[in-house]
């Protein structure tokens, strides 16, 4: 993909073209070079719109929606370096003081910083403690905003679990307030169960795993965990039944644990629809 030809095709500001470019980038997710070119060109195109930042609420909302979806595509490809570079650009744009009335930087972008670092640690295989501590630090920033506090605390707790800071992990996951995001609620129970197991509170862990299954029946990660805790609790018949149940999944079922590392990629269909709804001024 030629970046100059793409910029020429985009021409004067047009929300329809901006939205189309993002959908094109989504279709090119298997070709990372094309994805990066499309996202980079689109970011410049959206930020170079005629009405400056802070002067048109509808245009500002469209731009924010575009950035969120673009970063989600980079998260889907597990490209932390590109995510951090993108977020650096956004922070300079929104926090530089160049606009007299800049809109608020969406708190989701602070959470995205943590996701980028979490992916970086995962790519390392056996990440050093310093990598995971940076994950915790970034999520602590995101946890300060009510909109992202629940997910930030849950993700920070998982990093603390990997650091074997079990008491801190439990305290952190317990700070995750109730949310209507069912994936986050599932992760909350699943991770609390893992933490409680590490603290030798096996019966409490079983209850958490079953709570996760209440949110997502048939989820294999929680179902296998239930079976394992039942073995530990010396309830072999129940454990065998639970292990058999863990293999019974409807076609096309997606366990929330399988999509955890890809962050906001789970929102791409929803955010694509939202972006389309904002095309007309």
In this predicted structure, the answer to whether residue 213 has a pLDDT above a threshold of 80 is yes
Q: Is pLDDT at 27 greater than 90 in this prediction?
A: no
Q: Quote the CA–CA distance of 120 and 118 in Å, as a whole number.
A: 5
Do 92 and 25 lie in a common domain? yes
Q: Which residue range forms the structural domain that includes residue 219?
A: 180-257
The pLDDT of 36-63, averaged and rounded, is 93
> What's the pLDDT at 29?
56
H helix runs in the chain, sequence order: 3-10, 15-27, 32-47, 57-76, 80-95, 108-123, 129-142, 149-162, 166-173, 182-198, 202-215, 220-232, 236-246, 268-277
Q: Is residue 267 part of a domain?
A: no
What pLDDT sits at residue 31? 56
The answer to whether position 65 is within a domain reads yes
What distance in Å separates the CA atoms of residue 67 and residue 59, rounded to the nearest whole number? 12
Residue 78 clears pLDDT 70, i.e. is over it: yes
| Domain count along the chain | 3
Is residue 153 included in any domain, yes or no?
A: yes
1 and 100 part of one domain: yes
What's the whole-model pTM score? 0.93
pLDDT tens-digit series, residues 154-211: 999 999 999 999 999 999 999 999 999 999 999 999 999 999 999 999 999 999 999 9
Q: Say how far residue 212 (Cα) sits from the centre of its chain.
A: 19
Residues 6 and 67 in one domain: yes
Domain-located, residue 61: yes
Same domain, 117 and 20: no
Residue 44 resides in a domain: yes
Burial class from Cβ neighbours inside 10 Å (0-12, 13-18, 19+) for residue 113 reads buried
Classify residue 277: in a domain, yes or no: no
User: Exposure of 92 by Cβ count < 10 A (0-12 exposed, 13-18 middle, 19+ buried)?
Assistant: exposed
């Amino acid at each position: 993909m030629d970046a100059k030809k793409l910029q020429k095709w985009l021409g004067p500001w047009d929300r329809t073209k901006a939205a189309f470019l993002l959908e094109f980038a989504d279709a090119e997710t298997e070709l990372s070079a094309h994805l990066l070119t499309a996202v980079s060109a689109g970011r410049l195109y959206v930020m170079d719109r005629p009405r400056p930042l802070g002067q048109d609420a509808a245009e500002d909302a469209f731009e924010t929606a575009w950035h969120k979806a673009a970063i989600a595509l980079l998260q889907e490809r597990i490209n932390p370096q590109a995510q951090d570079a993108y977020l650096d650009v956004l922070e300079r744009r929104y926090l530089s003081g160049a606009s007299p009335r800049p809109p608020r930087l969406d708190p989701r972008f602070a959470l995205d910083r943590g996701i980028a670092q979490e992916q970086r640690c995962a790519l390392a295989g056996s990440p050093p403690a310093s990598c995971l501590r940076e994950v915790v630090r970034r999520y602590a920033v995101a946890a300060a905003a009510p909109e992202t506090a629940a997910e930030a605390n849950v993700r920070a707790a998982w990093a603390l679990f990997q650091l074997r800071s079990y008491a801190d992990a439990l305290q952190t996951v317990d700070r995750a307030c109730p949310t209507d995001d069912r994936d986050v609620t599932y992760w909350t129970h699943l991770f609390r169960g893992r933490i409680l197991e590490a603290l030798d509170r096996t019966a409490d862990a079983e209850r958490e795993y079953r709570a996760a299954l209440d949110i997502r029946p048939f989820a294999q990660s929680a179902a296998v965990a239930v079976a394992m805790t039942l073995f530990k609790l010396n309830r072999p018949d129940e454990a065998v039944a639970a292990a058999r149940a863990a293999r019974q999944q409807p076609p096309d079922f997606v366990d929330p644990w399988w999509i955890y590392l890809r962050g906001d990629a789970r929102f791409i269909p929803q955010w694509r629809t939202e972006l389309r709804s904002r095309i007309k001024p």
